[in-house]
């Protein structure tokens, strides 16, 4: 397997065009990209740009609220405000240089599941913040559903294989604010080396660079994208399901050069996750003599709980 030096680009309009040749082209392109790299830069992603712009402006407003005000909206780790120093990578105890605000699904047709999920946090001091975040959540969810349809076809599954599994799934929209760096951060970075927990992550490009992806030679490659693109990468849940046929690649967000320490950074990832009961058991079609089963059988909920404990967002039961 040759190593990569750039992040592949794909055009989602090919898959959605209704033209079978363009659809097959997209499926092959993204399948190959996720087999080799685990990341793509995607154009025509279907996320409403006006909604993106509005939410980014609101995230900036929220970030400037006094800390005591922001702390009112602490939702316990899975929803609402998460302060600086709370999250760290699985392989490091040093907290990341970021604060966050998280939104989850608004479950309307499953009372049992609605009772299990934490409630979203309404920000009274910024009344448009939560409703706008939830609208953006729905945008991401629909684009992610369509993209999973393409990946299902690449894996020789039915096109709608993921639909019922991600309906009311435990997806997370996360607004990340990394404040200006005011003193030597030592070994702390804005996001230490990690892989994502979910099926796939859809990430709005940040207003400042910093995202890097590790290639097969252990080199860090800048994940630079154009303003009309989003980054979409494979998460651990999907990698487990397909027995590493598609790869969840290590990535990080590094601090800027010292002369840019004054510049804050905002990024908006959407972690598309299934319902807790979805089995992540390796697909039989992805297991053979050359590719023996790599992962133990787990449900999505069991795996998510393990990882949240390991990164400091949940206490061990």
236-280: pLDDT as tens digits: 999 999 999 999 999 999 999 899 899 999 999 999 999 999 999
Q: Name the DSSP letter for residue 230.
A: E
pLDDT of residue 317: 60
Cα distance between residue 241 and residue 220, in whole Å: 26
Please name the helix (run of DSSP H) or strand (run of DSSP E) that holds residue 258, with its range, or none.
none
Tell me the three state secondary structure of residue 211.
strand
pLDDT band at 145 (very low <50, low <70, confident <90, very high): very high
pLDDT of residue 86: 79
pLDDT of residue 288: 93
Cα distance between residue 243 and residue 280, in whole Å: 10
pLDDT band at 140 (very low <50, low <70, confident <90, very high): very high
Tell me the three state secondary structure of residue 197.
coil
| Residue pair 277/299 in contact by the 8 Å Cβ criterion | yes
pLDDT of residue 205: 74
Q: Is 1 a residue whose pLDDT tops 60? A: no
pLDDT of residue 227: 87
Q: Is 2 a residue whose pLDDT tops 70? A: no
Residue range 172-178: average pLDDT?
96
pLDDT band at 88 (very low <50, low <70, confident <90, very high): confident
| Residue pair 209/257 in contact by the 8 Å Cβ criterion | no
The two beta strands, 39-43 and 191-194, are: unpaired
At 93, list the tokens: 């105890």
In the chain, pLDDT over 90 holds for what percent of residues? 79
Could you read off the pLDDT of 91-136 as tens digits, one per residue? 777 888 899 999 999 999 999 989 999 999 999 999 999 999 999 9
Residue range 139-148: average pLDDT?
98
Residue range 193-205: average pLDDT?
94
Cα distance between residue 150 and residue 42, in whole Å: 13
pLDDT of residue 76: 85
Alpha-helix residue ranges (DSSP H) falling in the chain: 12-16, 20-36, 49-63, 67-71, 111-116, 129-154, 163-166, 236-241, 300-310
pLDDT of residue 84: 86
Cα distance between residue 273 and residue 124, in whole Å: 28
Could you read off the pLDDT of 26-62 as tens digits, one per residue? 999 999 999 999 999 999 999 999 999 999 999 999 9
Q: What is the dihedral of CA 307, 312, 314, 317, to 10 degrees?
A: 80
Q: Measure the CA angle with vertex 205, ends 204 and 206; round to 5°.
A: 110
Kindly list the structural domains of the chain, giving each domain's residue range(s) and its CATH number in brackets, ordered by start: 9-310 (2.60.120.330)
User: What's the chain's average pLDDT?
Assistant: 93
Q: Quick one: 34 exposed, middle or buried, by C-beta within 10 A (0-12, 13-18, 19+)?
A: buried
Q: What are phi and psi of 175, to 5 degrees?
A: -95, 120
At 77, list the tokens: 């780790």
Task: Give me the DSSP letters along 138-161.
Answer: HHHHHHHHHHHHHHHHHTTS-TTT
Instruction: Catalogue the long-range contacts made by 292-298 (C-beta closer than 8 Å, 24 or more residues apart).
Output: 293/243, 294/243, 294/244, 295/240, 295/243, 298/240
Tell me the three state secondary structure of residue 53.
helix
Q: By C-alpha distance, which of 104, 103, 71, 100 is closest to 86?
A: 100
């Amino acid at each position: 397997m040759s190593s990569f030096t750039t992040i592949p680009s794909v055009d989602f309009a090919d898959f959605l065009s209704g033209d079978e040749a363009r659809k097959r082209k997209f499926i092959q392109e993204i399948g190959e990209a996720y087999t080799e790299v685990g990341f793509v830069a995607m154009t025509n992603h279907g996320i409403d740009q006006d909604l993106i712009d509005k939410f980014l402006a609101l995230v900036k407003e929220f970030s400037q609220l006094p800390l005591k005000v922001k702390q009112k909206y602490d939702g316990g780790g899975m929803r609402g405000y998460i302060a600086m120093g709370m999250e760290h990578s699985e392989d490091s105890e040093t907290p990341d240089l970021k604060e966050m605000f998280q939104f989850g699904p608004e479950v309307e047709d499953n009372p049992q599941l609605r009772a299990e999920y934490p409630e979203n946090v309404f920000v009274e001091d910024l009344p448009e913040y939560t409703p706008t975040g939830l609208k953006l959540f729905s945008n991401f969810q629909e684009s992610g559903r369509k993209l999973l349809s393409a990946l299902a076809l690449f894996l020789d599954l039915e096109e709608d294989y993921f639909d019922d599994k991600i309906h009311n799934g435990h997806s997370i929209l996360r607004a990340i604010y990394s404040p200006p760096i005011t003193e030597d951060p030592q070994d702390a970075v804005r996001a230490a080396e990690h892989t994502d927990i979910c099926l796939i992550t859809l990430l709005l490009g940040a207003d400042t660079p910093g995202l890097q992806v590790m290639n097969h030679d252990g080199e860090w490659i800048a994940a630079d994208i154009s303003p009309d693109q989003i980054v979409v990468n494979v998460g651990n849940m999907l990698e487990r399901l397909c027995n590493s046929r598609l790869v969840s690649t290590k990535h990080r967000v590094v601090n800027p050069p010292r002369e840019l320490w004054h510049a804050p950074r905002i990024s908006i990832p959407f972690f598309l996750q299934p319902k807790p009961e979805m089995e992540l058991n390796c697909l039989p079609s992805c297991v053979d003599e050359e590719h023996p089963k790599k992962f133990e059988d787990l449900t999505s909920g069991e795996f998510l709980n393990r990882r949240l404990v390991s990164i400091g967002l949940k206490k061990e039961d």
